[in-house]
A and B are shown apart, each in its own frame.
Chain A
């Protein structure tokens, strides 16, 4: 399809500000007369707070907020799910610390230095309780309980054996189907605790307003959910709560919820009656959130001809001290599993368990990288054990066009209408030289190379024909200015992936206006309609879907006013971009001479007092199309040191029409780096004695990949499948999370091909590789 701006590589709208150091992130916000806030955090994994003495801090001029000073509201930081499916277990400051690093008392003072000194002067009397740090022990009878009761929506419910929530789903008759299988393959996989490591630590600034309200500048993926939750916690009318949309220094899911420091900052500001800024230190940030660590047991039954007939997955997830989104996570994990292959009859059991550790939240893929690692490693394993070609085995069983896709667990499903899986697997195999792949037994010497592949997907948004457990819609406002330029107002957060630029392109394409003549407005919750959150790879499909929808309304308004001027019926008019003059014109269909520029229409609409050409509306997408990916990678294992290098990677995606091709490539390559970390390096391990992180929150001891771990430029190839999603704006689907989901799986499969050892646990560190090589195991764990 021939587009004016869609699919073209154009400079990001926020690019110049970012390269000049002029972009405002929450940590850059300065408000006159503001105080600096810090928190005192629990040194114990589990302890009751008996008494807090802030007198010494207050004598230093500090304002203090203790657990007794915050509202008695129990909430869940994440409000993406509908209220009756939301588990609530936390207060702004707790009366019982449930993990090391949980904020207990907050302090604000004139300078950061005084605030720290005041914080150190606070005395807290704790009653230390026995902690629960091991997943299995947490569920054992007699284990210390983190909670006696929590809330599901408004309902008080009891917690037993530290099981936070569970989901059991059976489709068909898996037991009967296993009985008919020729081969049954079963293994357990373990995925680690990983820190998001977004570059900017979480920050909040709150200014109390003279009307009794508050203005908030904060690190978030959702300005509207922050606003609503603050309104609820502090009993403020929403008209008096305003949350500003700012740039965000990376997120990867870490700010899907209202971050823990935001309400603490608000409590301080309301008490001090002055603006307060809180910028989290990196150590406190590492102690604030993590990816969901999971143990996944998978059993699959296959016929001799390679048809899968049965599957059974049991997932056990360590969610840490609070539920942020564990219930929807369990559902989503079921959906990622159910939608990868046609399992025939299958079963899923997911269980989320409380432990006295950092609370887990969404991180790029939301359970999908975990499930994908299990399933895609398993597919390779089955192919090896049963003698199938791994690519053909996948092509025989994958879920594609016409099949049902579980976009957000069992309650949000839609039928797949576009799918590039076959094209990507064929192309990827050709690009990597799959036909020349040699088995592990033929590889000798110190450095052994292997080729592996895996495929994956993610949903685009959480819409289905029927609304499910997840809220999903977005809003936009578009205005034609009096010179024909366009303002786009969208509440959708751009996490860096280029969603903002995509919104501009979609508006420009509908209105046939040059990219340079459309700008994004600086907005907040008062000036925009609701958007749920930038999560679930929904920015382009849902957020820009709303922009597309509203731009169509603006176009109709333009036709109405142009019709009055040209004395034509609005329905007989057409928009066109006159490239030679660089203007957008409205002309009579089939009679181009009868024309007027949109700038002239807007100018006359003002002079004739007709009004501004603008529209505001919301849109709920009623599908959740999967964006597919495939990874074909080559690894080199140094059998002397155990170090795994990645000399070559082929990254393939089906994101429908790539609106920002450079940013789609950027997502794929960025995800290769994060996937490398997930597969080979990253794990924030706990010391099970002290309940502290072994890295103590310092990133010095928690390495993420640098530039040197990446393949050379010429050895990273990106390929876009040729698909068009009929329900997306200009045929677009998402890409963000999909890009990561099969990276670690492909690397694991390549390592097997190099050394003949399959790993069931990441990170596959040099120590684990060496131990497996020395142990002579075929299964390195």
Chain B
């Protein structure tokens, strides 16, 4: 298959990629750009460990062909914050014990970020409803819901 040029923005930076049309966004992010935050969990769109934001909307990178991302703006967990400047949600996940094995964490954080962009003060019911597609086998979700509910917004 012929490679083609794709221009997109990843975590605020312009990127030009020369990729095959059958390559998945998840693999391109991980293998071409070294952004390992998005995880492979099922490849079927069932677990949401691969969630990234496309123009602010949570999307499953394991179901998207990377060539369709021409001109789009993608955010991965690496774009949320740095170790010395954590995003309030990242801090809240740490404060509330919302991380165990951590494999679902990037997807959970990005989904939660999209929720807060739509609805800055969601109820518990709204949080549950929004996160229902993101699977976690460790935590039983309670600490994650609490972390989203009690996130401290930047002043």
Give the B-binding residues of A (Cβ under 8 A). 9, 11-12, 14-25, 27-28, 30, 113, 196-201, 247-252, 279, 281-282, 495-498, 662-663, 665-666, 669-674, 698-700, 704, 706-708, 710, 712-713, 716
Contacts and interface: CB of A to CB of B under 8 A. Distances in A.
Interface in B56-88: 76-78, 80-83, 86
For the residues of A in contact with B, the DSSP-based class is loop
A284 B80 CA distance: 33
A750 B8 CA distance: 54
Nearest to A718: B142
Contacts of A496: 100-102, 138
Interface in B81-97: 81-83, 86, 90, 93-97
B94 A707 contact: no
B53 interface: no
B104 interface: yes
B44 interface: yes
11 contacts: A15-B93, A21-B36, A27-B39, A199-B39, A251-B101, A282-B41, A672-B140, A699-B46, A706-B133, A710-B141, A713-B124
A16 B139 contact: no
Contact of B139 (A12, A666, A713): A666
B93 A19 contact: yes
A282 B66 CA distance: 21
Interface in B22-49: 22, 30, 34-44, 46-47, 49
B142 A282 contact: no
Nearest to A112: B27
B136 interface: yes
B144 A15 contact: no
Contacts of A248: 101
Contact of B78 (A18, A20, A200, A708): A20
A648 to B, nearest CB: 13
B128 A708 contact: yes
Given A20-B78, A663-B97, A14 B102 contact: yes
B46 A708 contact: no
B131 interface: yes
A199 B149 CA distance: 24
Contacts of A710: 128, 140-142
B142 A669 contact: yes
Nearest to B76: A21
Contacts of B82: 20
B135 interface: yes
A11 B135 CA distance: 23
A28 B36 contact: yes
B145 to A, nearest CB: 6
Interface string B13-24: 000000000100
A666 B97 contact: yes
Given A496-B100, A707-B144, A670 B132 contact: no
A499 to B, nearest CB: 11
B99 A200 contact: no
A699 B86 CA distance: 33
